[in-house]
Structure 1
């Protein structure tokens, strides 16, 4: 019974996330931001499309097939995506993305067997990893990014409550999609900084 409940929750989360991702893509495609009420309505509609089996040749909901390919997203990734639909969402600071990218660069090679150390094992009840996550959340708060505090807090609470099938804290904090997003954000930030500097130099150039 508990396993069925967890599967249902996972499908519901994935259905909503698929709807959110489609809305984000539509907004980028049309280069416009939909009104908040329209975003909520679209999330409800698309979430239902992905959640309920559509019949025909599909035996499972669309979200089940997506989940079969991607696996469960971390709570951090899921909340970052959902938060993107809030009214006037603030951009995620580079001070959050850069540590995630650095952690991913070290974590994934080691977790995949490169070396004798396995950091993934720390996620099973390691007080050290939990303390690091809490400290990271506090640093987000000190930096003025309260959204990061809430996201990390919810991720830790979800892990403590065994919200997903995994009992590993890493699976609530990090996933490959979050790692790729953070890694791509660094060169993007460098490029934007250089472009702003070049434009500033052009504007103040003599003549």
Structure 2
């Protein structure tokens, strides 16, 4: 990996780590953290993770995190980064279900289960590119414009070789995104059922 790509990778992981910590803090807090505070915290945490701190650490903290998680996809990073923006909307359940279904089929096949290798489609397959564009259009028609922008940025990043990989799949999907989608689906269903039960209880006669 060239020094330029290494710098990008460290900056991306530093920002991702900062957003994860801010998101966890927000979930543990009983009050909404003001956006200005979140922004300042992000700046401080990015610097904390990006610069080597000494203390017998030869590399920045983000490099060690990246060594464990690997390089995240553009889709994963943009979903995370946008979560701390003002009035950030929740990711639609339909997107989570789609990611989960794709991951369930994709990873076993990509790891050699069967004769089909969908990972090879990521090297310039027009069919895969058309499918992603179609999926982005569906997101737009469903009213989730954020998904359109995220998928568009992922395609652009792949086209300009923003990351080291030349495979489109690496810009769209990663194991962390797949695990998040698989865990988020039952959680979303539970909350919908709970909200519906509470609504029925409030409007129950008597």
TM range (shorter): over 0.9
Q: 1:176 aligns to what? A: 175
Q: Distance in 1 between matches of 2:92 and 2:103?
A: 17
Q: Distance in 1 between matches of 2:139 and 2:177?
A: 17
Q: Distance in 1 between matches of 2:181 and 2:174?
A: 11
Q: Distance in 1 between matches of 2:30 and 2:105?
A: 36
In the alignment, does 2:99 pair up with 1:100? yes
Q: Mapping of 1:11-50 within 5 angstroms? A: 11-50=10-49
> Matched residue of 2:2: which SS?
helix
1:35 shift after superposition? 1.1
Q: Distance in 1 between matches of 2:192 and 2:122?
A: 36
> Matched residue of 2:8: which SS?
helix
1:56-80: CA deviations, max 9, x gaps? 2100000000000001110000000
1:42-66: CA deviations, max 9, x gaps? 1110000000000121000000000
Unaligned runs of 5+ in 1: none
Q: 1:65 aligns to what? A: 64
TM-score by length of 2: 0.96
1:201 shift after superposition? 2.8
> Matched residue of 1:68: which SS?
helix
1:147 shift after superposition? 0.6
Q: Distance in 1 between matches of 2:137 and 2:60?
A: 39
1:204 shift after superposition? 3.1
Q: Distance in 2 between matches of 1:91 and 1:34?
A: 17
* Number of equivalent positions: 206
Q: Distance in 1 between matches of 2:86 and 2:189?
A: 27
1:21 shift after superposition? 0.5
Q: Distance in 2 between matches of 1:32 and 1:162?
A: 41
Q: Mapping of 1:119-198 within 5 angstroms? A: 119-198=118-197
The CA RMSD measured in Å over matched residues stands at 1.2
Q: 1:84 aligns to what? A: 83
1:115 shift after superposition? 1.1
Q: 2:7 aligns to what? A: 8
Unaligned runs of 5+ in 2: none
Q: Distance in 1 between matches of 2:99 and 2:32?
A: 28
Q: Distance in 1 between matches of 2:197 and 2:33?
A: 32
Q: 2:116 aligns to what? A: 117
Q: Distance in 2 between matches of 1:91 and 1:197?
A: 18
